[in-house]
Amino acid sequence: MTAIHCHNVSRAFDDVVALRDFDLEVPVGTIVSLVGPSGSGKTTALRVIAGFDMPDAGTVVIGDRTVVGPGVNIAPEQRRVGMVFQDYALFPHMTVTGNVGYGVDNGQRAERVREVLDLVGLAEMADRMPHELSGGEQQRVALARALAPEPHVVLLDEPFSNLDAPQREKMRRDVRIILKNAGATAVFVTHDQSEALVVGDIVAVMREGRVVQTGPPHVVYAAPSSPWVASFLGDSVLIEGVASTGQVETFLGVFPHRGREEGPVDVMIRPEWIHPYPDDGGDAFVVDREFYGHDQMLLIELPGGQRVQSRIGPRPLLDPGDRVNLGVDEFVVFGK
Ligand code: ADP
Ligand code: MG
């Protein structure tokens, strides 16, 4: 079942095209991470779904109801969409309880507020004012407020941008767990690729007003649809290759490859797919090492002078100057 379906949505501001034939499907009960660089149209997409902005063309269906389309424009408050913003946007003069209960019918209010405050882990803070809470707690109140009226969907626009790095990492775990426990359907907007991969059941990558690839995080990461998606979603080594029947030839070796490509191709390899095997007689050597504790990123030079990155675990520790042979266990080929 589909909770949100955007079809061919376009929106321009004067000569700036914010959305062009934007297509997105959000299945019920899933979190979709909508990720793209700044200016790619993410906020505009959320505003169109929520009803704060009117597209020039296209349709949006929420549940089984068309909320915007030819001759249709349902008011935001009738779309049953919950919003969470970067700046929390809590009512400063209301307690946590007041904020969370704001959109809930009187009869169920007290019970529902207790329920969602439990869900977000803030039951103890029901009587506090927003200024008495940390940024992370305020954002959890905002999430509780969005969930309280049992919306069809929750839309979150860069909700962690105002938090510092350690808080942000904790929040992305917490928010994912809260949304899953609530059984919520959500669109989570971020420009941060690691946040998108961690939070989403599905990742939709946006570029210049369009969704260019959609899929589970591990799939879009391992099988990006273009070199652009590959480098946007993580570290990548992009090298030239020549494809012929059954193989692709690169300076890292000749790999078996069954594809339709013939002739010059681009070959993308994630650094963790490149394995250095220490060998005093090896023809490559370590130029530099970044040590991260849980892993190390090596810069390795080949006999031809080409350099590639290789990510390995913390052990064995390889030092600049160490000689190695390289093995590659996965790669993606892009036709030119
Ligand atoms: P994102 O959220 O991905 O950073 P936005 O949806 O905010 O991107 O913006 C997409 C493009 O549309 C940008 O070029 C932005 O400057 C432009 N834009 C967004 N809203 C407006 C507006 N109200 N008026 C003019 N241009 C806008
Ligand atoms: Mg934005």
pLDDT digits (tens, 9 = 90+) for 308-325: 999 999 999 999 999 999
User: Going by C-beta distance under 8 Å and a sequence separation of 6 or more, which residues neighbour residue 281?
Assistant: 323
Q: Tell me, in angstroms, the distance from the centre of ligand 1 to residue 69's CA.
A: 21
Atom of ligand 1 nearest to the CA of 209: 10
**Cα 23 to averaged position of ligand 1 atoms, centre (Å):** 17
Q: Region 38-44: what's the mean pLDDT?
A: 98
Is 157:85 a contact under the CB 8 Å cutoff? yes
Q: Which atom of ligand 1 is nearest to the CA of 189?
A: 2
Mean pLDDT of 196-217: 98
Q: What is the model's pLDDT at position 106?
A: 87
Residue nearest to atom 13 of ligand 1 (CA): 39
Please tell me the predicted confidence (pLDDT) of residue 266: 97
Q: How confident is the model at residue 16 (pLDDT cuts 50, 70, 90)?
A: very high
Q: Give yes or no for residue 9 CB within 6 A of ligand 1.
A: no
- In percent, how much of the chain has pLDDT > 70? 100
Indicate the helix (H) or strand (E) that contains 21.
strand 16-27
* Tens of pLDDT, residues 60-77: 999 999 999 999 999 999
Across 81-109, average pLDDT: 93
Q: By the 8 A CB rule, do 194 and 235 touch?
A: no
Q: 185 falls in which pLDDT band (50, 70, 90)?
A: very high
Q: What percent of the chain has a predicted confidence (pLDDT) above 90?
A: 94
Contact between 18 and 44 under an 8 Å Cβ cutoff? The reply is: yes
71, two tokens: 């001759």
Averaged pLDDT of the chain: 96
- Whether 36 lines ligand 1, by a CB cut-off of 6 Å, is yes
> What local confidence, expressed as pLDDT, does residue 150 receive?
94
What residue type is assigned to position 241 of the chain?
G
CA distance 288 to 301: 9
| Helix axes of 135-147 and 165-181: crossing angle, nearest 10 degrees | 20
Q: Which pLDDT belongs to residue 242? A: 97
* Residue 336: predicted pLDDT: 87
Cα 310 off chain centre by: 24
pLDDT exceeds cutoff 90 at 188: yes
pLDDT of 11 > 90? The answer is yes
CA 30–ligand 1 middle distance (angstroms): 26
List the residue whose alpha carbon is closest to atom 16 of ligand 1.
Answer: 39
Q: What is the pLDDT of residues 147-181, one digit of tens each?
A: 999 999 999 999 999 999 989 999 999 999 999 99
Secondary structure class of 32 (helix, strand, coil)? strand
The per-residue pLDDT for 322 is: 98
**Residue 295 confidence class, pLDDT cut points 50, 70, 90:** very high
Spatial separation of the C-alpha atoms in residues 228 and 34, rounded to whole Å: 16
The pLDDT assigned to 259 comes to 87
- For residues 273 and 49, what is the distance between their CA atoms, to the nearest angstrom? 39
Q: Ligand 1: does its nearest atom lie under 6 Å from the Cβ of 79?
A: no
| pLDDT above 90 for 88 | no
pLDDT of 30 > 90? The answer is yes
pLDDT at 315: 94
- Cβ atoms of 49 and 81 within 8 Å: the answer is yes
pLDDT bin (cut points 50, 70, 90) of residue 326 is: very high
55 CB near ligand 1 (under 6 Å): no
pLDDT digits (tens, 9 = 90+) for 234-286: 999 999 999 999 999 999 999 999 888 999 999 999 999 999 999 999 999 99
Q: Which amino acid, residue 79?
A: R
Q: CA–CA separation, 220 vs 218, rounded Å?
A: 6
User: How would residue 300 be classed by pLDDT, with cut points 50, 70 and 90?
Assistant: very high
N- to C-terminal Cα separation, the chain: 37
Please give the helix or strand (H or E) that residue 179 lies within, else none.
Answer: helix 165-181
- 155 vs 52: CA distance, rounded Å: 12
Nearest-angstrom CA–CA distance, 133 and 136: 8
